Structure 1
Amino acid sequence: MTAHTAGFSAIVLGAGAAGLMAAATAGQAGARVLVLDHAPHAGRKILISGGGRCNFTNMDTGPGQFLSANPHFAKSALARYTPADFVDLVRRHRIPWHEKAAGQLFCDRSARDIVDMLRRECAAGQVDVRVSHRIIDVARDAGGHYRVETDHGTFHAPSLIVATGGLSIPKLGATGLAHDLARRFGLRVVSPAPALVPLTFGAQDREWMEPLAGLSVTVGITCHAGEGRQARQVTFRDGMVFTHRGLSGPAILQASSYWQPGQVLDIDLLPGIDATSRLLEIKRDRPRAGGVAMLSMLLPQRLAQLMAQAHLPDGQLAGMPDAVLANVAGVLSGWRLNPHGTEGYVKAEVTRGGVDTDCLSSRDMQARDVPGLFMVGEAVDVTGWLGGYNFQWAWASGHAAGQAVAERGG
């Protein structure tokens, strides 16, 4: 193979959201940047995001919408490159967009607009983007320069930005390269796991869940994160969908980022409603109704039938003790289920965990003990909620690393 020493000041591994942002930022600040990706096209994960429309940011982004062993780590980068900054970029490129839900911004046409925009930004910084380059080896020489060997040649630079993402969606080429490189250079890795992913259940639960497949209901799920003084809880109120294997929908995807194997899942089927008062009210107003009829006023028919069969005696409401209805109300407000697992990286939108933030500078994403090595985006132990937050982290972390690389020179 031919060795290429074109005088690059930085090599970016990964032509995804964080990598292209880092490259464009560094290139436009004067750095000579090379981007390498093993995929045949740049931005493959961007293209499928948001149903093909790319939920490219969330205007409500703040550190509280991210999971990390260090909840403060993301503050610096997020503060220095905000959703408004990215929206300004989108506007400069005349990309039409809309707000689909509170704070969630999507392209009007296609996610291709975002990829094309990033490619134009890279071109403006004279960034050399090379796809279909399989990484064979990465090393750091005695002089502190990085050597990247590919199946198309070997490249050198004093700075290396690792933006190869996590393990989610392997059909798009996701690998554990970022984690492998982190360990090779002595950086700790917080155990990765699928996040923003449907939950699955064991055969016994699936037996009664399968008849509900396709059913959607708005629920509330309270999740817990952190320990001690950093402990906090957050409640997601959104849609939940029954599948043939378990549960999905926005509320479940959000909860999956917090869920750990062996934990139970408490689901409020009537969020915002005082279930006991409502059931007693229905009993008073419709004493001759049966249990299924009562629950059908609050839940989809199939779910109402299942709950009535499991928790209500036969007969009219007039003959049911208030204590029975109070017990049912407790079930509806805190339906406890035991997930068996998740659908895994195949269906996970992102990867939880990653490069330990204690090993990185929160200002510029550079490894504290390995000068010139930067980790950005999904590779890092910073995982956002559903709704554009992970893209904003990609933009912010990539921008921080890109600025730092340009300042280092080389």
Structure 2
Amino acid sequence: MNNHHQTIIIGAGAAGLFCASLIGKCGQNVMILDSGKKIGRKILMSGGGFCNFTNLDVRPSHYLSQNPHFVKSALTRFTQWDFIALVVERGIAYHEKNDGQLFCDNSAQDIVDLLEDRCKKAKVNIQLRQQIDSVEPIENDPNVRFNVRANGIDWTCQNLVIATGGLSMPALGASPFGYKIAEQFAIPVIPPRASLVPFTYLENDKIFTALSGISLDVNVSVGNQAFRGDMLFTHRGLSGPAILQISNYWQPNASIKIDLLPNQSIVDFIMELKATSPNMLLKTALSQLLPKRLIDLWIEYQRLAIGNKALAQLSKVDFNVLSELIHQWQFQPNGTEGYRTAEVTLGGVDTQFISSKTMQANHVQGLYFIGEVLDVTGWLGGYNFQWAWSSAYACACAIAESEI
């Protein structure tokens, strides 16, 4: 067995597989090491099993990082249109959902098969069920820079690519391995935390568990950042696309503001109804716009004490209370559901110490970081997969020393 490869990639996820296929296509000797039983496990779980593989509108502003300019070069060099072209060439049927999100028609397996076939054609050596014991630098040899011990076997390489992802979804093999490698080589790590993740209830808000399963179109905001979309009441807290999006920007102990009727002024609606139906009860009027279960719960727990008033009885103060409750609900999460359900990890390898053009560590020749392990977090909607493709491409071009 040849224990030397020009490039070893640790991680058989989206970024690692794509990077390997590109480097191998250029004739280089590439091996992937992964701890799992099969490749692309997170891809298969993504998008409800249909993989939201990119978005029609990808901009740097869709990403969070301590170094916000870092993503620009890679996203420009390999765009969403470049990956869509590969999907079309492969004959994968796909469709657009909300806000430019692209999903496979059939299954996320289509994307895994695309990547696997590209790796096979490029003669990439994929080794699964590999427990990495250690990574050590080799001095004074430009052709053999690293020794990787896996399952008790030593492998050497010139280039080492860390594509191990973040801490989200530990059941799929997520681990802090990539962060430990960065720290081993004196590269700082921005403290990671779960993101694109549901919120949990404080004790006082656990009354809302009775609304589990109800979904509303809302506008949620934290500071100057706002998102419009569905919000879902669950047994544990609030979820849904709008909540996942705002979780990227939420800080512990902060509140989020929720507008339950972003398309309509509740005051204008009630005033108009009052002119024609002055004796209608407020709770009856509200049930035309919001779920009756929500209104009944507000009344039961004294959060809408005026619910049994007739519209004609409502005062200016009542209208202010009503407007604040519906358009400016201040919801303070107890926390999040954590990495177990988080789609991504916020934070990661500090990009100030990584080249934005090559993904190589600035002070460690031949060591590269790609994908989610870096301090780059995209919005919900295919942006994190696009970062995987784009960062993998930048890395592969650097290792192949040409545009691929």
Runs of 4 or more, structure 1, over 6 Å off, are none
Q: How does 1:13-162 map to 2 (within 5 A)?
A: 13-143=10-140, 145-151=145-151, 153-162=153-162
Tell me which of 315, 337, 340 is aligned to 1:343. Answer: 337
In structure 1, stretches of 5+ residues that fail to align are 225-232
2:367 matched to 1:373? yes
Secondary structure at 1:310 match in 2: coil
Q: 1: distance between equivalents of 2:188 and 2:128? A: 29
Contact in 2 for aligned 1:29/1:403 (Cα 8 Å): no
Kindly state the Cα deviation for residue 285 of structure 1 after the two structures are TM-superposed: 2.9
Aligned to 1:173: 173
TM-score by length of 1: 0.93
Establish whether residue 364 from structure 1 lines up as the match of residue 358 from structure 2.
Answer: yes
Would you say the 8 A contact 1:280–1:325 is kept in 2? Answer: no
Residue 230 of structure 1 corresponds to none
CA contact (8 A) 2:225 2:249 kept: no
Tell me what 1:234 maps to: 225
Range 20-29 or range 312-321, more displaced:
312-321
Could you tell me how far apart the structure 2 residues matched to 1:67 and 1:284 are? 48
Question: What's the counterpart of residue 391 of structure 1?
Answer: 385
Deviation at 1:142, TM superposition (A): 1.1
Q: Does 1:311 align with 2:310?
A: no
For residues 339-386 of structure 1, give each alpha carbon's deviation from its aligned partner in whole angstroms, at most 9, with x where no partner exists.
011111011111110001101111111111111111110101110111
**TM-score, with length taken from structure 2:** 0.95
Residue 242 of structure 2 corresponds to which residue in structure 1? 251
Query: How far does residue 180 in structure 1 lie from its aligned partner after superposition?
Result: 0.7
1:314-329 mapped onto 2 (5 Å cutoff)? 314-329=308-323
The counterpart of 2:276, out of the listed 263, 266, 285, is: 285
Give yes or no for contact 2:133–2:152 (8 Å, CA) kept in 1.
no
| Corresponding position of 2:261 | 270
Residue 177 of structure 2 corresponds to residue 186 of structure 1: no
**Count of residues in Structure 1 that have an aligned counterpart in Structure 2:** 396
- Structure 2 unaligned regions, length at least 5: none
Range moving further from structure 2, 367-376 or 324-333: 324-333
Q: From the superposition, tell whether residues 54 and 41 of structure 1 become closer, same or farther in structure 2 (CA, over 3 Å).
A: same
Per the TM alignment, residue 330 of structure 1 is displaced from its structure 2 partner at its CA by 2.1
Return the letter of the residue paired with 2:269.
Answer: R
RMSD: 1.5
* Alignment match, 1:355: 349
SS at match of 2:303: helix
1:333 aligns with 2:327: yes
Structure 1 residue 250: Cα displacement: 0.8
Displacement of 1:8 in angstroms is: 1.2
Aligned pair 1:196/2:196, yes or no?
yes
CA distance in 2: counterparts of 1:184 and 1:245, whole angstroms: 38
1:397, CA displacement in angstroms? Answer: 0.5
